[in-house]
Amino acid sequence: MTMPSPRMYALGTAAIAIAALFIPFWQAPFALSLLLALMLPVPMAYGLLTSFASHAIACMVFCSMAMGSESGDLVERIGRLFMGISPVLLVVISAVVYGFTATLGAWSGLVIRKFRMGTVRP
């Protein structure tokens, strides 16, 4: 029993979104999304939407947990550093930036894959 490609892509995207949270480099969501998009053929709109949503949700959950744990004071200090924004808004902004970075990686991977297959001209 094989999974259809979009379902496999969604599961892979969720897995790399969680893995990217624990890799200490800011390029992790971009690089992992690019690699997944190169490996699995999916439609462009589905790949971008799935990539953004899964990474943004994973980041929001992770940041919310960090804010609720012992790191809450640190989150408040970082919020004060950026013109006094609230910790909740800081979590939302972080999730959007994280999702956008992953979307750029997925878009790059999908375009490179199409270019290699010859469906997109330079």
pLDDT in tens, 13-64: 888 888 888 877 777 788 888 888 888 778 888 888 888 888 888 888 888 8
Q: Which helix (H) or strand (E) holds 92?
A: helix 87-117
Domain count, the chain: 1
pTM for this model (two decimals): 0.76
State how far the Cα of 73 lies from the Cα of 29, in Å rounded to an integer. 26
Q: Which amino acid is at 55?
A: H
Q: Which pLDDT does position 32 carry in this prediction?
A: 82
Is 82 within a domain? yes
Burial class (CB in 10 A: 0-12, 13-18, 19+), 16: buried
User: Which of the 8 DSSP states describes residue 22?
Assistant: T
Q: Which amino acid is at 31?
A: A
Is 15 within a domain? yes
Is 93 within a domain? yes
Q: Residues with Cβ < 8 Å from 98, sequence gap 6 or more? A: 29, 55, 56, 58, 59
Is 11 within a domain? yes
Contact assessment for residue 47 and residue 106, using Cβ atoms and an 8 Å cutoff: yes
Is 42 within a domain? yes
Q: Which pLDDT does position 96 carry in this prediction?
A: 93
Is 122 within a domain? no
State how far the Cα of 84 lies from the Cα of 43, in Å rounded to an integer. 41
Domain enclosing residue 53, as ranges: 5-117
